[in-house]
């Protein structure tokens, strides 16, 4: 969320920068709403001063034995005017808040121009994509032939775009989660949390999912409130500190959690609907960091390294790209995507996004800290995937597949699995 004063002060510069992400800022309407609010406050202040003056005059006349009925009537009229002016202020503030909630974050100047993945700028490649002396299978064919992935029974249970993992497949998913959480908590300094999977409308609004993306969310309700299934653990983790003031000596705060994630993926039918790439329910390890605005970029770079560490442990080939301004998420000002190589598609596909939100979420959720003078200021937030289990499992199967239809798993997983190879029939062995 923006400080309306900053947007108005930036003027045409704010309009230009938001246009880079395809958003047309109606600065005139914002200014008009802010002026209405300011003039309403001034009017109330004037009326209250007048009310105070009349009250004093009533008291003085009463003490002198003069008739005060006319003055009392005037006082009643002024109080009525105050109530009307206060209602006008509330209306202007509500309209202003609604307008501000719909304005995306201003993209960083470091984000390249463009509005799609075609305009992403590659930062680096790590590892050479594997070259096979045979035609590589995709993870669906591999998993189903082994009997460790079952999409047909998942469809019977829940409809399309769900999955069932069994045997070595379920064990592999669990091992990935254990590896990632151990890396983040033991090596990278994150504190693991177990959080609710259902959250309130206010919580979703705090991180920017609402009001804009309600169509992408699954919603239910209790008697007294709406509840939404989380699309990512970023939502509950970040909002743990909503409406709190964090002491500067506590920063940065580093949080991680393993949760299911639920997304309707409205409008994405036909895109990546085969296999584990884009599902309505998937499991993911998430990372969140809360810091001061001047440290946000440094913390973001650190988080990218934490996500990369997961891929390196799994001997996966990947690359890091900077997303274009017009392809950056609503709440983010800069995003790095980590893209893993999928042999079946002969291309890199996104497996983690690490985003710097600046103070955008801090303002929305009321997450604050203090500057060197003790003044309360919004905190900055960063989040990233570290990593999604389904997409990672797909990449592991595809990049480590063997000519005989088996998969030789990375050494880093052996201590969690107790086996190294998933054979073509779904059984397991040490080598």
Q: Does residue 6 have a known ligand-binding role? A: no
Q: Does residue 170 have a known ligand-binding role? A: no
Q: Does residue 289 have a known ligand-binding role? A: no
From 369, 394, 398, 371, select the one nearest 381 (Cα to Cα). 369
Q: Does residue 116 have a known ligand-binding role? A: no
Burial tier of 218 (Cβ tally within 10 Å: 0-12, 13-18, 19+): middle
- Say which of 48, 166, 201, 278 is annotated catalytic: 278
E-strand stretches of 328-413: 334-342, 347-356, 367-370, 376-378, 380-388, 407-408
Sign of torsion, CA 36 42 45 47? negative
- Say which of 350, 370, 420, 424 is annotated catalytic: 350
Q: Does residue 232 have a known ligand-binding role? A: yes
> What Å distances lie between residue 40 and 34, 43, 83, 111, 307, CA to CA?
10, 5, 11, 40, 50
- Say which of 17, 37, 161, 263 is annotated catalytic: 263
Q: Does residue 368 have a known ligand-binding role? A: no
Residues 284, 353: contact at Cβ < 8 Å? no
Q: Does residue 82 have a known ligand-binding role? A: no
> What Å distances lie between residue 277 and 168, 170, 178, 280, 412, CA to CA?
19, 17, 21, 10, 23
- Say which of 353, 364, 368, 398 is annotated catalytic: 353
Q: Does residue 350 have a known ligand-binding role? A: yes
Concerning whether 53 is annotated as a catalytic residue, the answer is no
Q: Does residue 62 have a known ligand-binding role? A: no
- Say which of 37, 364, 391, 421 is annotated catalytic: 391
Concerning whether 263 is annotated as a catalytic residue, the answer is yes
Q: Does residue 233 have a known ligand-binding role? A: yes
CA 234, distance to chain mean position in Å, is: 5
Concerning whether 350 is annotated as a catalytic residue, the answer is yes
User: Helices (DSSP H) in 21-120: which residue ranges?
Assistant: 27-63, 69-101
Q: Which two tokens stand for residue 180?
A: 């990632």
From 334, 314, 315, select the one nearest 389 (Cα to Cα). 314
> Alpha-carbon dihedral of residues 383, 389, 390, 392, nearest 10 degrees?
90
In 10 A of CB 139, how many CB atoms?
26
Annotated binding site: 232-234, 263-265, 286, 350-353, 385
- Catalytic machinery residues: 263, 278, 350, 353, 391
Annotated binding residues for L-serine: 232-234, 286, 385
- State the binding site for ATP: 263-265, 350-353
């Amino acid at each position: 969320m923006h400080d309306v004063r900053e947007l108005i002060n930036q003027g045409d510069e704010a309009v230009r920068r938001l246009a880079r992400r395809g958003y047309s800022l109606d600065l005139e309407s914002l200014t008009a709403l802010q002026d209405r609010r300011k003039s309403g406050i001034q009017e109330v202040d004037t009326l209250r001063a007048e009310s105070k003056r009349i009250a004093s005059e009533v008291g003085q006349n009463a003490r002198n034995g003069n008739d005060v009925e006319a003055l009392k009537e005037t006082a009643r009229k002024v109080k009525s005017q105050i109530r009307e002016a206060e209602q006008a202020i509330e209306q202007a503030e509500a309209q202003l808040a609604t307008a501000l909630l719909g304005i995306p974050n201003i993209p960083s100047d470091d984000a390249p121009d463009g509005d799609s993945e075609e305009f992403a700028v590659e930062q680096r490649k790590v590892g050479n994509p594997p070259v096979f002396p045979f035609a590589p299978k995709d993870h669906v064919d591999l998993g189903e032939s082994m009997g460790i992935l079952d999409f047909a029974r998942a469809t019977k249970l829940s409809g399309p775009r769900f999955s069932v993992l069994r045997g070595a497949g379920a064990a592999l998913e669990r091992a990935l989660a254990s590896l990632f959480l151990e890396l983040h908590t033991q090596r990278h300094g994150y504190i693991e949390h177990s959080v609710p999977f259902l959250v309130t409308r206010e919580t979703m609004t705090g991180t920017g999912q609402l009001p804009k993306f309600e169509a992408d969310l699954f919603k239910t309700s209790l008697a007294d409130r709406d509840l939404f299934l989380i699309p990512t653990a970023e939502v509950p983790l970040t909002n743990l500190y909503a409406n709190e003031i964090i002491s500067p000596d506590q920063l940065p705060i580093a949080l991680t959690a393993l949760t299911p994630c639920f997304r309707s993926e409205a409008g994405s039918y036909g895109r990546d609907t085969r296999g584990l790439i884009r599902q309505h329910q998937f499991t993911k390890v998430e990372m969140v960091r809360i810091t001061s605005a001047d440290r946000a970029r440094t913390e973001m770079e650190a988080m990218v390294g934490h996500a990369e560490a997961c891929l390196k442990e799994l001997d996966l080939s990947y690359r890091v790209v900077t997303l274009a301004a017009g392809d950056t998420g609503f709440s983010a000002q800069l995003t790095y995507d980590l893209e893993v190589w999928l042999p079946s598609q002969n291309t890199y596909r996104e497996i983690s996004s690490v985003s710097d939100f600046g103070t955008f979420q801090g303002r929305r959720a009321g997450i604050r800290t203090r500057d060197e003078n003790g003044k309360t200021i919004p905190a900055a937030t960063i989040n990233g995937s570290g990593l999604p289990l389904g997409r990672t499992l797909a990449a592991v199967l595809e990049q480590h597949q063997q000519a005989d239809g088996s998969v030789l798993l990375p050494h880093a997983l052996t201590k969690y699995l107790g086996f190294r190879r998933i054979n073509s029939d779904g059984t397991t062995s040490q080598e």
